Structure 1
Amino acid sequence: MNQEMNGVEVERVEEKIDYVFKVVVIGDSAVGKTQILSRFAKNEFCFDSKSTIGVEFQTKTVTINGKLIKAQIWDTAGQERYRAVTSAYYRGALGAMLVYDITKRQTFDHVARWVEELRSHADTSIVIMLIGNKGDLVDQRVVHTEYAVEFAEDQGLFFSETSAFTGENVNSAFFKLLEEINKVVSKRSLDCNNGKANAIIHKGLEIDIISPPELEITEFKKLPSCSC
């Protein structure tokens, strides 16, 4: 009986969902992508976490500006041998969380390459959040915050530092990303109704936004960084 009731409750929640936003979590291997996602989706941290093979995803339903939004978050492998596979999963993504490790300079040095790859395969309107993870290891920091802030401002990215271990800023970073995606979707929906843009929007389904020719990535230039 309880299982039947739970099934009915899940169906009712699904019926009420306004949008499904696809988000990809990218970055070098071992920067904490899976841990960040686990902290956000289930408020868990796994001490014996293994490297992601290929692509995995989790979901979480949140309310933003009165809309019930299901975040479908894809956790991609950071190893080079999986890059050709994971790039296919960028299609349809409305947001990306690009993660580096504040204790490993190389992971930050590769951020520019990840941005380039993302913009080559994803929609031009994608919202990108740059994340400096492992903020709890402040005594081991080698990537200073001001470097990341400067890069984010130059590239038109949002920025936050997090700790998947303690949970600091993880939820606020995800919510900021989803809020900005919702703004883009709302604007495109309005423009579509006014005949200014071509957008495919379905209630309760993943939204695949098609950018009009005049709207390029410069929409996100000089966006303020996330003050999480």
Structure 2
Amino acid sequence: MEPRWHYQFRVIMLGDSTVGKSSLLRRYTEGVFLDAVNQTVGVDFYVQFVELEPGLRVKLQFWDTAGQERFRSVTCSYYRNSAGGMLLFDLTNRASFESVRRWHREVTDTVQPFRVVFLLVGHKSDLAAERRVGRREAERLAASLGAQYVETSAKDASNVAQAFQMLTLAIYRALQSGLLAPCEAWDGVKSSGPLPAPLPAHTTKEEKRKKCSC
């Protein structure tokens, strides 16, 4: 019997409070936009199934984290088992853009020796008249973090599906290249069958052990 999904990727939503993490997820997973969304308390969960390419189904498990400082000890515990991180900032809020490096550093430091594939997202692109962050500046930040960049709007659905597709594909490519190396000690990626590619042939047994150590 054909499995319902071939891979499961865990993705964590990151960014300051009110940048629109929950709104973006609701638009993507439920196809709805709510003008008023209650602030996330701790962590919320969402699931979406996608066909990455013909015959390749991926289950996306999203962890929607609270942006407030008082919940940081709770949300940090979810970083370690994430394969992907969607870094959001509000295009109309300069401070949220300046917080991106802090979010990125916090996750990167926490997950070592594992890695997380990031996507930088400038949200609320429908509010063009209130924009406070330029595209080129955001693209430079994304490049410095080794991530792709996209601008989205949960309100008008602009680039919403594209953003999640970009991150899902980037995670899959990281698996193929060996940048991500799933193992029993890490739940960022699960597979119902063989992984897309083995670790590079030149990788020693000791290096493989380190990749799967906690």
- The TM-score range, normalised by the shorter chain, is 0.7 to 0.9
Q: Do structure 1's residue 179 and structure 2's residue 179 form an aligned pair?
A: no
CA deviations over 1:25-64 (Å, ceiling 9, x no partner):
0100000000001111111111221110000010000011
User: Please, what is the CA RMSD of the aligned residues?
Assistant: 2.5
Paired position in structure 2 for 1:89: 78
SS at match of 1:35: helix
Paired position in structure 2 for 1:32: 20
Q: How does 1:7-22 map to 2 (within 5 A)?
A: 15-22=3-10
**Count of paired positions:** 192
Residue type at the aligned position of 2:27? R
Q: Do structure 1's residue 165 and structure 2's residue 155 form an aligned pair?
A: yes
1:76 offset after TM fit, Å? Answer: 0.3
State the alpha-carbon separation in 2 of the partners of residues 202 and 106 from structure 1: 36
Would the aligned equivalents of 1:16 and 1:204 in 2 still touch at CA under 8 Å? Answer: no
Paired position in structure 2 for 1:143: 133
Moved more, 38-47 or 134-143: 38-47
SS at match of 1:89: coil
Would the aligned equivalents of 1:188 and 1:199 in 2 still touch at CA under 8 Å? Answer: no
SS at match of 1:71: strand
Paired position in structure 2 for 1:102: 91
Paired position in structure 2 for 1:221: none
Q: Which of 45, 58, 74 is equivalent to 1:69?
A: 58
State the alpha-carbon separation in 2 of the partners of residues 150 and 142 from structure 1: 15
SS at match of 2:178: helix
TM superposition score normalised by structure 1: 0.77
* Unmatched 5+ stretches in structure 1: 1-11, 192-196, 215-228
Residue type at the aligned position of 2:101? A
State the alpha-carbon separation in 2 of the partners of residues 204 and 57 from structure 1: 21
1:188 offset after TM fit, Å? Answer: 3.1
Would the aligned equivalents of 2:182 and 2:190 in 1 still touch at CA under 8 Å? Answer: no
Q: Which of 39, 52, 61 is equivalent to 2:40?
A: 52
State the alpha-carbon separation in 2 of the partners of residues 199 and 154 from structure 1: 28
SS at match of 1:61: strand
Q: Percent identity?
A: 35
Residue type at the aligned position of 1:106? A
CA deviations over 1:49-105 (Å, ceiling 9, x no partner):
111000001000001133110000110000000111101101111101010000010
State the alpha-carbon separation in 2 of the partners of residues 170 and 198 from structure 1: 28
1:147 offset after TM fit, Å? Answer: 1.0
Q: Residue 202 and residue 25 in structure 1: after superposition, are their counterparts in 2 closer, same or farther (change >3 A)?
A: closer
TM superposition score normalised by structure 2: 0.82
